[in-house]
Structure 1
Amino acid sequence: MSRRLVIERPGEHRLEQGGTPAPGPGEVLVRVAAAGICMSDREVYDGKRAPGYVRYPIVPGHEWSGTVEAVGQGVDPGLVGRKAVAEGFRACGICERCREGETSLCTGGYAETGFTEPGAFADHLTVPARLLHLLDDGADLRAAALLEPAAVVAAAVRAGRPRAGERIAVVGAGTLGLLCVQLLAASSPAELVVIDPRAERAEQARRFGASAALSANGPEQGRFDLVVETAGAPTTAASSCLLARRGGRVVLTGMFAAGATGIDPVHLSVSQLEIRSVFGASSAAWSEAVRAFGLGLLDPAPLITHEFPLERFAEAVALVGGGDPKTGKVLLRP
């Protein structure tokens, strides 16, 4: 038997019990070890995710880790017993963007585990074997559940192209921001400054490798070669551009809501800024995140503050976005 958490419609969920799903051709069956809850999952539960990016009823859960239990037709049986994570986007693999390696820009239509396809708030899930990224036998599956946001951060770092000796700022010290600090610290920056009004998060950023932590932009404007925005707050896209030096680079990683403050086009043109945005992660970014995790350059475990069984989903999801600075990453442990 296998359980799964189903959101029937916004604000309504149930815990179902039924047979264990069988992997189809090209698929694997994974026993879920841990699944993270992020603000996107809270948006699905609250009914605030854009209609084209969710399909009710849905089993959420796009941040997860687990162990392969069975394989479908055409899949290497040697995968059984391997620890793994998997990409969330169900990219087609054949469109022009996919063939260029930009799988997060797939033109074949949006499909993603936990939003349009059954996710990991369950005992088991099935995923295409081609999306798997295998982990070392000794990998910490609890920490590995955060490799999905780590892959998004890896995509942001790839877009930002950090170079040794640069001055770098990270805006926001949530899960994305703190993972970003870890990856950027490995590039040997001259300065790695984190900007977040929460004192507790600023202190954690220092432990993760930041050279300084500030509560506001202040006099830091115009100083940084690279600025990576991770907060998704109404003003942070515009304020991040003000932090960059003339000719600097800005990567927008946070998910912004409609009505956010726009970027000043005069400042943009006069300052000759290079601006990139990130939505999800390509296969290449996933590979980099998994590799960094395996080498110990990336350790998401200290970000985890709460763990709940599936039966306590309502309590767990209420913590996400609740505003308590002591709440870090919340996990479900089937």
Structure 2
Amino acid sequence: MSRSVVVDRPGASRLAEGEQPVPGAGEVLVKVSAAGLCGSDRELFEGGRPAGFVSYPVTPGHEWSGTVVAAGPQTDPGLLGACVVGEGHRGCLVCGPCRDGFPNLCLSGYDETGFTRPGAFADHLLLPARLLHVLAPDADMRAAALLEPAAVVASAVRHAALRPGETAAVVGAGTLGMLALQLLAAASPARLVAIDPRAERGAAAEEAGATSFLSPGEAADGTFDVVLETAGAPGTAHAAVALSRRGGRVVVTGIPADPDDTVPTALLVTRALTLHTVFGSGPADWAYAVRAFTSGVLRPAALITHELPLTDFEKALALSATPGAGKILLRPDLD
């Protein structure tokens, strides 16, 4: 038997039990070690996920790590027993973006583990073997569950292309912001500033690699070569653009709840800024994040504050909204 959290509709979840899934051709069955809770999981449960980006009923959980316990036909049997993480976006593999390496931008539509396909808030996860990234046998599987948000951050960092000696700022010191600080610090910037209104995040930000921690408004506008926005709050994209020097690079990852949130075109044009945005991550971003994790550059374990059993899904959701909560993991082995 295998258990899974099922959200039937906004506000209604249950723990379902059923037969253990059987992998088909090109598929693997993964025993879940840990699955991270994300703000988008809370949106899914509360009904705030945009139309087209969720299909109820669904088992959430797009941030995960686990071990391959079964392989279907036409699948490499060498994967059995491997410690793995996996991409979530199910691209068609035929359209232009997919062929360019961006299944997260597939023209056939949005399709992602944990939102439109069963996710990892379960004992087992079934998915195509082509989505897997194999980890070292001694990998910290708790920390590895954060490689999905790390891949998103890797996409942002790759766009930013920070060079040694440049200056950088990260707007937002949540999970994405902390991971961004770790990756950017590896590029040896002359200055790496974390900006967040929560003063209690300062020590952790400096541990992640920030040279200083400032509240919004304390950093001088127009001074940074690179600015990464990771907060997704109203006004934070505008703030990121304002912080960038003329000719600088800005990468925006957050999606504010306010649909009228704006970035001033005049500021973008008169400063001749390069602006990138990030939605999900592609295979190259995953490979980047996994390499950084394996080498020790990326240290996600420091961001984990709570670990709960699978049966405490709704408790975990409530906990995620409390001050001091960092990354929360659901672990089937704790039940």
Q: Tell me the TM-score normalised to structure 2 length.
A: 0.97
- Tell me how far 1:260 sits from its aligned partner: 4.6
How far apart are the structure 2 equivalents of 1:317 and 1:306? 11
- Tell me how far 1:199 sits from its aligned partner: 1.4
Following superposition of structure 1 onto structure 2, how do residues 310-329 of structure 1 map, counting pairs within 5 Å? 310-320=310-320, 322-324=321-323, 326-329=324-327
SS in 2 for 1:122: coil
- Tell me how far 1:268 sits from its aligned partner: 1.4
How far apart are the structure 2 equivalents of 1:203 and 1:220? 21
How far apart are the structure 2 equivalents of 1:219 and 1:2? 51
SS in 1 for 2:52: helix
Contact 1:234 1:259 in 2 (8 A): no
Q: Residue 160 of structure 1 aligns to which amino acid in structure 2?
A: A
Q: Residue 15 of structure 2 aligns to which amino acid in structure 1?
A: L
Q: Residue 109 of structure 2 aligns to which amino acid in structure 1?
A: G
How far apart are the structure 2 equivalents of 1:219 and 1:209? 17
- Tell me how far 1:108 sits from its aligned partner: 2.1
Following superposition of structure 1 onto structure 2, how do residues 246-325 of structure 1 map, counting pairs within 5 Å? 246-320=246-320, 322-324=321-323
Change (3 A) 1:251 1:44: same
How far apart are the structure 1 equivalents of 2:245 and 2:73? 54
Following superposition of structure 1 onto structure 2, how do residues 78-97 of structure 1 map, counting pairs within 5 Å? 78-97=78-97
> Which deviates further from its counterpart, 105-114 or 281-290?
105-114
Q: Where do 5+ consecutive residues of structure 2 fail to align?
A: none
| Match in the other structure for 1:332 | 330
- Tell me how far 1:180 sits from its aligned partner: 0.3
How far apart are the structure 2 equivalents of 1:103 and 1:59? 21
Contact 1:235 1:260 in 2 (8 A): no
How far apart are the structure 2 equivalents of 1:220 and 1:131? 42
Number of aligned positions between the proteins: 332
- Percent sequence identity over aligned pairs: 58
How far apart are the structure 2 equivalents of 1:260 and 1:69? 47
| Match in the other structure for 1:139 | 139
Matched, 1:60 2:60: yes
Change (3 A) 1:242 1:262: same
> Which deviates further from its counterpart, 145-154 or 210-219?
210-219
- Tell me how far 1:219 sits from its aligned partner: 4.6
Q: Residue 46 of structure 1 aligns to which amino acid in structure 2?
A: E
| Match in the other structure for 1:189 | 189
How far apart are the structure 1 equivalents of 2:247 and 2:17? 56
Q: Where do 5+ consecutive residues of structure 1 fail to align?
A: none
Deviations 1:116-145 (Å, cap 9, x if unpaired)?
A: 000000000101000000000000000000
SS in 2 for 1:44: helix
- Tell me how far 1:179 sits from its aligned partner: 0.3
How far apart are the structure 2 equivalents of 1:218 and 1:31? 46
Deviations 1:3-32 (Å, cap 9, x if unpaired)?
A: 000001000011011110111111100000
> Which deviates further from its counterpart, 100-109 or 232-241?
100-109
Deviations 1:265-295 (Å, cap 9, x if unpaired)?
A: 1111111111100010011000000010000
